[in-house]
Structure 1
Amino acid sequence: MQILVDADACPAVVKDILFRAGPRVSVCVTLVANQFLRTPPSPFIKAIQVPSGFDVADARIVELTQPGDLIITADIPLAAAVLAKAAHALDPRGEWFSAENIEERLTIRAMMDQLRGSGVDTGGPSPYSPRDSKHFAAQLDRFLTRVRRVS
């Protein structure tokens, strides 16, 4: 099992949580982005820089994903693609994507895109908060604990 991170828009606090968690449980954390990313020195942490372009990082993440991996992303289509490969998907706010909720999330995303395309101001997500990072850390810890018990 590995953790792959859609790192271009991932909050720094989430990366820091992952930088501590990966080595603690001996799980490889790989950040994928179209920009250079600094990572702490660790055999369990690496970064992959992909060329700029629409969904290039997402395509690389899907390519690297194996069943049982954990993918950190807020990108709903990416989450759908990795769920189809029997991986797990967690957003940086600690919310799980699942087979039960992904279709609804894709539908809502498409509707919001359509509204924005017609000129409606739909706003955006609320600012990332300390509560979000605590929720993410708790969900990550539960997942890693469960995975370690099974293996």
Structure 2
Amino acid sequence: MNIWVDADACPSVIKSILFKAADRTKVNTVLLANHPLNVPPSPNIRFMQVSSGFDVADNEIVKRVSAGDLVITQDIPLADEVITLGATALSPRGELFTKHNIKSRLNMRDFYDTMRASGVQTGGPAALSQSDRQAFANHLDSILAKR
């Protein structure tokens, strides 16, 4: 199992949880972003910078992911793609995306995109809460325990 992190918008606190988990479990963890990131020195943690552009990091993750891997992303279309490839997708807010819930999440995302395109202000996501962090850590531990 590898952990692939769509790191461009991944909160620092979530990256910290991932770094500790990677070292504790010895699972290879790769962060992909189009800007430089600092990662702790570790044989289990790697950073890969991709070029700027729409979905470049997402496309690189899709090229490299294998069935059984874990992808950390809040990007719903990316989650859908990796689930189709047999990987697991987890959002930084602790939402586990599955083949049973991803299509409805895609529909909601598309609905909100349509609303925003027509000028409706939908607001942004709420700040990452302590319960979001805890849900993420709990799901991550559960996934890593099953490997």
| TM-score strictly above 0.5 | yes
Amino acid at match of 2:8: D
Number of equivalenced pairs: 147
SS of equivalent to 2:107: helix
Partner of 2:22: 22
Aligned counterparts, 1:131-146, within 5 A: 131-146=131-146
Distance in structure 1 (CA, Å) of the matches to 2:127 and 2:99: 27
Aligned counterparts, 1:1-151, within 5 A: 1-147=1-147
Q: CA deviation at 1:126?
A: 0.8
Any unmatched runs of 5+ in structure 2?
none
Deviations 1:58-108 (A, max 9, x none): 000101100000000000000001001100000001111110011111111
Any unmatched runs of 5+ in structure 1?
none
Distance in structure 1 (CA, Å) of the matches to 2:81 and 2:135: 24
Runs (4 or more) in structure 1 with deviation over 2 Å come to: none
Task: Give the TM-score taking structure 1 as reference length.
Answer: 0.96
Distance in structure 2 (CA, Å) of the matches to 1:146 and 1:126: 31
SS of equivalent to 2:146: helix
Task: Give the TM-score taking structure 2 as reference length.
Answer: 0.98
Q: Work out the percentage of aligned pairs sharing the same amino acid.
A: 52
Instruction: Kindly report the root-mean-square deviation, in angstroms, between the aligned alpha carbons of the 2 structures.
Output: 0.6
Q: Which moved more, 1:73-82 or 1:129-138?
A: 129-138
